[in-house]
C-alpha cells in the first residue's frame, strides 16, 4: 500500500505540475505561445526531478504505465504489482489535473478541446516514449542509475521542444490532461491514439535496451535489477528495520 500510495501521489503531483504550470504560463504570457512553452517545459523538467527524488525510494517513481510494463518485462517488478500500479497512476494523474484546475480558481473538471492526434504528433509520441524508456533503463543497466532523476527531467524538458507533440510519453498523463481545457490539455478523442503509440514507443525502447544493454554490469543474474528498489515484506533488513539499497538500483 505504501508503494501504491507513492505512485498515486507522485502521479498526482506530476499532473498538477504539468497542468498547473501550463495554466500559469497561459495567464502570465497571454498570446505568446513560445514563451508559454518555455515556462511550461522549464517547470516540468525541474519539478519532475524533485518528485522522483521525493517518492522514488518507495515505489520506483514510475508515474507512467509504459515504464511499469517495461520494468515488469525485464523482471524488475512482478506482473501482479504492475497491474496494481497502473490504476494508481491513472487516478493520480486525473486527480492532479483536477487539483491544478482548482488551484487556479477554475472549474474542477473542464474537458479539453485541444485535438492533437495528427500523424506527426503520433510519430513524435513514439519517438518521445522510446527515448524515455531507453534513457531510464540504459542508465541503470550501465551502472549509472543515480543520474536518472536529473536525466529524466532534462530529457522531458528537451522533448517538449524537439517533438511536435510536446512529449506526453505517458498514457496516464494523457488521460489526466483530458480534464483541463487549458494550455496543457488534450481532447478525449486524441487520447486512445496517443496511448496506443506510447505503448508502441515503449516496445521500441524495450527492444533498444535489449540490443544495447543485454545485461547489467553485475552480469546476467542482475539484469532484472532495472530501476528502483521494489521492496517487499520478505526483503532482508540492515538491522534497523530498513531494507538495504542495492548499489545497481536507481530511480526512474
Whether the CB-CB separation of 92 and 10 falls below 8 Å is answered with: yes
State the pLDDT confidence band at 38, using cuts at 50, 70 and 90. Answer: very high
The domain of 78 spans 2-222
Radius of gyration (C-alpha) of the chain in whole angstroms? 18
User: Residue 128's closest CA among 162, 101, 100?
Assistant: 162
Q: Is the pLDDT of residue 246 over 70?
A: no
Q: Specify the pLDDT at position 63.
A: 97
Lowest average pLDDT, out of 147-156, 163-172, 233-242, goes to 233-242
- pTM (two decimals): 0.85
Does 114 reside within a domain?
yes
Q: Is the pLDDT of residue 245 over 80?
A: no
Q: Is the pLDDT of residue 198 over 80?
A: yes
Does 228 reside within a domain?
no
Lowest average pLDDT, out of 74-78, 191-195, 219-223, goes to 219-223
State the pLDDT confidence band at 116, using cuts at 50, 70 and 90. Answer: very high
Does 62 reside within a domain?
yes
- Cα 172 from Cα 87, distance rounded (Å): 9
* Span 202-213, pLDDT tens digits: 999 999 999 999
Instruction: Give how many domains the chain has, as a whole number.
Output: 1
Q: Is the pLDDT of residue 150 over 50?
A: yes
State the pLDDT confidence band at 215, using cuts at 50, 70 and 90. Answer: confident
Does 245 reside within a domain?
no
- Cα 125 from Cα 173, distance rounded (Å): 13
Does 227 reside within a domain?
no
Q: Specify the pLDDT at position 217.
A: 52
Q: Is the pLDDT of residue 233 over 90?
A: no
Q: Is the pLDDT of residue 247 over 90?
A: no
Whether the CB-CB separation of 14 and 184 falls below 8 Å is answered with: no
Does 238 reside within a domain?
no
Residue 227 grid cell: 530501476
Does 230 reside within a domain?
no
Mean pLDDT of the chain: 88
Q: Is the pLDDT of residue 227 over 80?
A: no
More confident residue, 51 or 140: 51
CATH for 118: 1.20.1080.10
Residue 120 grid cell: 506527426
Does 234 reside within a domain?
no
State the pLDDT confidence band at 226, using cuts at 50, 70 and 90. Answer: very low
Q: Is the pLDDT of residue 102 over 50?
A: yes
Q: Specify the pLDDT at position 140.
A: 87
Other C-beta atoms closer than 10 Å to the C-beta of 187 total: 16
Amino acid at each position: 500500500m505504501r508503494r501504491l500510495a507513492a505512485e498515486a501521489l507522485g502521479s498526482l503531483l506530476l499532473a498538477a505540475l504539468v497542468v498547473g504550470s501550463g495554466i500559469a504560463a497561459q495567464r502570465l504570457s497571454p498570446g505568446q505561445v513560445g514563451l508559454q512553452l518555455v515556462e511550461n517545459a522549464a517547470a516540468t523538467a525541474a519539478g519532475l526531478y524533485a518528485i522522483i527524488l521525493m517518492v522514488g525510494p518507495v515505489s520506483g517513481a514510475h508515474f507512467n504505465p509504459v515504464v511499469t510494463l517495461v520494468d515488469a518485462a525485464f523482471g524488475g517488478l512482478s506482473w501482479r504489482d504492475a497491474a496494481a500500479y497502473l490504476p494508481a497512476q491513472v487516478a493520480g494523474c486525473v486527480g492532479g489535473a483536477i487539483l491544478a484546475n482548482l488551484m487556479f480558481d477554475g472549474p474542477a473538471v473542464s474537458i479539453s478541446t485541444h485535438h492533437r492526434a495528427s500523424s506527426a504528433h503520433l510519430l513524435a509520441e513514439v519517438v518521445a516514449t522510446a527515448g524515455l524508456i531507453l534513457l531510464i533503463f540504459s542508465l541503470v543497466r550501465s551502472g549509472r542509475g543515480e543520474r536518472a532523476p536529473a536525466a529524466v527531467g532534462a530529457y522531458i524538458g528537451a522533448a517538449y521542444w524537439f517533438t511536435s507533440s510536446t512529449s506526453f510519453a505517458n498514457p496516464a498523463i494523457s488521460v489526466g490532461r483530458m480534464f483541463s481545457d487549458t494550455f496543457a490539455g488534450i481532447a478525449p478523442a486524441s487520447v486512445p491514439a496517443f496511448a496506443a503509440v506510447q505503448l508502441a514507443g515503449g516496445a521500441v525502447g524495450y527492444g533498444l535496451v535489449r540490443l544495447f544493454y543485454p545485461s547489467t554490469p553485475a552480469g546476467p543474474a542482475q539484469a532484472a535489477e532495472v530501476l528502483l528498489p521494489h521492496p517487499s515484506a520478505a526483503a532482508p533488513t540492515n538491522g534497523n528495520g530498513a531494507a538495504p539499497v542495492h548499489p545497481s538500483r536507481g530511480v526512474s
